[in-house]
């Protein structure tokens, strides 16, 4: 996927569904950094013993690579210094989540990408400017499962996510990536033909949350880009028909659930002109839940995007637009009863936002760059 922004200071997002099939903000403040004396003291030891020593040795051994990586994302050296310090603090705070069997720089790059994005957002607010930017988001199913590489029942293993990043090195090196959960991302045991005795899915998405640095609870999150007046809201909605069985894949979506209350509160906030909701469930099934309450909440935003089905689709319901996209678009189709565009094509969705005038263009695009469907919001 290669997409270029135009020259009129646009902000572009690529939404991909079923990434696994194709290829195989509110942030907490980290604790204060250690003193220089403490760092030098730890560095005097040849063999690291404590977590402090292990972290300092790993950071010292990779600092040059980390600085070069952050510089490669378009920041000047003075900005690199600021971001490296922040990235180091975030890694220190999350050090107990690092898997020593995985690559340190790969883990560091994931954190660095998000810190660079946050830095650019902060500069945009301070200077009232925002350069052309590109960000990639998914609509679920970023990997096939965790059990093939990690063994059945292993909730902590992040190897499949590391493999995903390694598969697209240029893309993930240059583009901030904010994934949304799908059922495959949590599949820690083979699903089988009927619900087994043990849970198939890790509903808490432990490995996903360990690997990716995301806002809020990470299994659900929201992220604002104030310069373009847009908000993204990610939900954990997938395989809802299996709720209450050992096939249950998502957090509760009932009216009394944490997820429902969180999203309801979020959608009452009308501080953003555009709101894009992301999840991994069939649109028609989801909007009917809780006597249509989910549909009414979706409608308070601008569009809803899912990666549930293996096809490209745009549906219009009560003046609201639902999308489905999949990088692998040749599977069975489950057409929405309100479908206005439907095609069995490998596709992704490109959102382009402009500031003056404030508009959001949504295009369903083929992998060859062709535009399959286009709609503009805010006109």
* Domain chopping of the chain, boundaries: 11-26+131-377
Peptide linkage before 357 cis (omega within 30 of 0): yes
Fold type of domain 11-26+131-377: Purple Acid Phosphatase; chain A, domain 2 (3.60.21)
Q: What is the pTM of this model?
A: 0.74
**CA pair distance 351, 14, nearest whole angstrom:** 7
Per-residue pLDDT of the chain (379 residues; tens, 9 = 90+): 223 333 345 666 666 666 665 543 232 333 333 334 443 444 444 555 687 788 888 998 899 889 888 877 767 777 888 899 999 999 998 898 888 888 899 889 889 888 888 887 777 555 444 445 678 899 999 999 999 999 999 999 999 998 888 887 777 766 778 899 999 999 999 999 999 999 999 999 999 998 887 888 999 999 998 888 999 999 999 999 999 999 999 999 999 999 999 999 999 999 999 999 999 999 999 999 999 999 999 999 999 999 998 999 999 999 999 999 999 888 788 899 999 999 999 999 999 999 889 999 999 999 989 999 999 999 7
Buried b (16+ CB within 10 A) or exposed e, 47-56: eeeeebbebb
Closest CA to 364 of 330, 324, 316: 324
Predicted pLDDT of residue 318: 97
Distance CA 77, CA 205 (A): 36
DSSP letter at 30?
Answer: P
**pLDDT, tens only, 247-268:** 999 999 999 999 999 999 999 9
Q: How do beta strands 359-366 and 11-16 pair?
A: unpaired
Give the model confidence (pLDDT) of 30-52 as tens digits: 333 333 444 344 444 455 568 77
Give Cα 89 to chain centroid, integer Å: 22
pLDDT one-digit tens code per residue, 121-167: 777 555 444 445 678 899 999 999 999 999 999 999 999 998 888 88
């Amino acid at each position: 996927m290669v997409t270029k922004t135009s020259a009129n200071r646009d902000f572009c997002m690529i939404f991909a569904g079923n990434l696994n099939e194709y290829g195989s903000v509110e942030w907490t403040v980290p604790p204060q950094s250690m003193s220089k004396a403490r760092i030098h003291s730890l560095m005097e030891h040849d063999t690291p013993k404590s977590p402090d020593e292990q972290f300092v040795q790993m950071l010292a051994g990779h600092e040059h690579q980390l600085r070069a990586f952050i510089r490669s994302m378009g920041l000047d050296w003075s900005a690199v210094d600021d971001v490296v310090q922040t990235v180091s603090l975030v890694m220190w705070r999350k050090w107990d989540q690092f898997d020593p069997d995985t690559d340190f720089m790969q883990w560091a790059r994931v954190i660095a990408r998000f810190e660079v994005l946050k830095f650019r957002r902060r500069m945009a607010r301070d200077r009232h400017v925002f350069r052309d930017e590109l960000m990639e988001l998914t609509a679920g199913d970023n990997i096939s499962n965790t059990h093939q590489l990690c063994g059945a029942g292993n909730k902590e293993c992040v190897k499949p996510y590391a493999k995903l990043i390694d598969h697209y090195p240029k893309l993930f090196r240059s583009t901030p990536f904010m994934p949304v959960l799908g059922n495959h991302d949590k599949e820690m045991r083979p699903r089988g033909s009927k619900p087994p005795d043990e849970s198939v899915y890790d509903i808490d998405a432990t490995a996903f949350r360990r690997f990716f640095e995301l806002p809020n609870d990470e299994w659900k999150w929201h992220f604002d880009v104030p310069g373009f007046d847009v908000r993204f809201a990610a939900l954990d909605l997938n395989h809802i028909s299996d709720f209450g069985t050992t096939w249950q894949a998502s957090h509760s979506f009932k009216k009394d659930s944490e997820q429902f209350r969180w999203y309801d509160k979020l959608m009452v906030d009308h501080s953003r002109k555009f709101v894009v909701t992301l999840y991994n469930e069939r649109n028609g099934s989801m909007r009917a839940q809780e006597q249509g309450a989910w549909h009414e909440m979706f409608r308070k935003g601008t569009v809803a995007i899912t990666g549930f089905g293996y096809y490209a689709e745009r549906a219009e319901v009560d003046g609201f637009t639902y999308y489905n996209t999949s990088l692998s678009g040749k599977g069975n189709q489950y057409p929405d009863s309100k479908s206005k565009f439907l095609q069995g094509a490998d596709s992704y969705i490109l959102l382009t936002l402009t500031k003056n005038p404030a508009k959001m263009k949504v295009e369903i695009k083929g992998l060859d760059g062709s535009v399959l469907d286009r709609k503009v919001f805010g006109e």
